[in-house]
Homo-oligomer: A and B are copies of this chain.
Amino acid sequence: MTLDARLIVNRPAFTLDIALEVAPGEVVALLGPNGAGKTTALRALAGLTALSGGHIALDGRPLHTRPADQRPVGMVFQDYLLFPHLSALDNVAFGPRCRGASRSEARRTAAALLERVGLAAHATAKPRRLSGGQAQRVALARALAVEPRLLLLDEPLAALDAHTRLEIRSGLRRHLADFDGATVLVTHDPLDAMVLADRLIVVENGAIVQQGAPAEVARRPRTDYVARLVGLNLYRGLGDGARIKVGELAFSTIEQLDGPAFVAFSPAAVALYRTRPDGSPRNLWQAVIDGIERHGDNVRVHLDGPVAAFVDITPAALADLDLTPGQRIWASVKATETHAYPA
């Protein structure tokens, strides 16, 4: 393990307590809602916030006893915090200079890194003259210039527009792949996390609620937050063979489970009927329409009832069914479309 940490930070109204292990070359994404403690965790790793307890070990050596400027850590801040009075080159050269390199040496390192992120042409530009994407790449180069063993990125893509974001995301992906230290990335965009990370850690309210490979987390969300993030309906119930009891409903699933279990299904997998259908779908319940909104090319219907659910239908279906909020309706999901797993 490159990084092995237990981070405990106590604040008046908030406690962070998470354990974190990152292998060399691995990229771990911390995902979570606003105020979950993601930034606090990064700051604790960087030495900008004191630990109330726990430890941080990097390559086997304790890190939490050292001040921020003596940790082999590179950090990319949410809004980059490029020094406004220095050129892009001098921003990148700042770290090597602080770590003892001569001026010309530091500049050489900086120029090489700017070259690598494709910004050699902007070396002399001041940060205010850089676009968001360019600034992000300079910030990355600046963090990498100190040859860190641990790279920390706080919402590196949040300040970019959707267009730039796509490009910068793949660029970042490439740079992270080249980096052989541990990387911890904070984001609240699931797509960023999926694309960039080898492993997701979902933090809610200062504690880890789920972790695993991106695809695994996406397929088997364990909290409402994660389910919404990946666009699934999720319920927690009690398994009893091929049925999972959720409140007054019992979902039929193909998996055989006993004890506490989750059942998840996609909003597109739900079918709606004006009258009680008489067909194969095993999971059928009556619901009330809570709201209707456009969702991409489709329409998303919010259902209330024994369980709350999202349903995606086509505009044509909407017109056929003539749905309005407040209306009672039947909803069904085929057992084969559900996915159940132990809670």
Total identical chains = 2
Does A163 lie within 8 Å of B33, measured CB to CB?
Answer: yes
The distance in angstroms between the C-alpha atoms of A131 and B34, with both chains bound, is 8
Does A163 lie within 8 Å of B294, measured CB to CB?
Answer: no
Question: Is A319's beta carbon under 8 Å from chain B?
Answer: no
Please indicate the chain B residues that have their CB under 8 angstroms from the CB of A166 in the complex.
Answer: 228
Does B132 lie within 8 Å of A34, measured CB to CB?
Answer: yes
Q: How many residues of A contact B (CB 8 A)?
A: 34
Question: Is A189's beta carbon under 8 Å from chain B?
Answer: yes
The distance in angstroms between the C-alpha atoms of A162 and B295, with both chains bound, is 15
Residue in B160, B162, B229 whose CB lies within 8 Å of A229 = B162
The distance in angstroms between the C-alpha atoms of A229 and B174, with both chains bound, is 21
Which segment of A43-51, A190-198, A272-280 sits at the interface? A190-198
Known A170-B302, A302-B170: A164·B294 in contact at CB below 8 Å = no
Question: Is A248's beta carbon under 8 Å from chain B?
Answer: no
Tell me the A212-232 residues at the B interface (CB within 8 Å).
Answer: 214-215, 218, 225, 228-229
Residues of chain A at the chain B interface (Cβ within 8 Å): 33-35, 131-132, 160-164, 166, 169-170, 173-174, 188-191, 194-195, 214-215, 218, 225, 228-229, 291, 293-297, 302
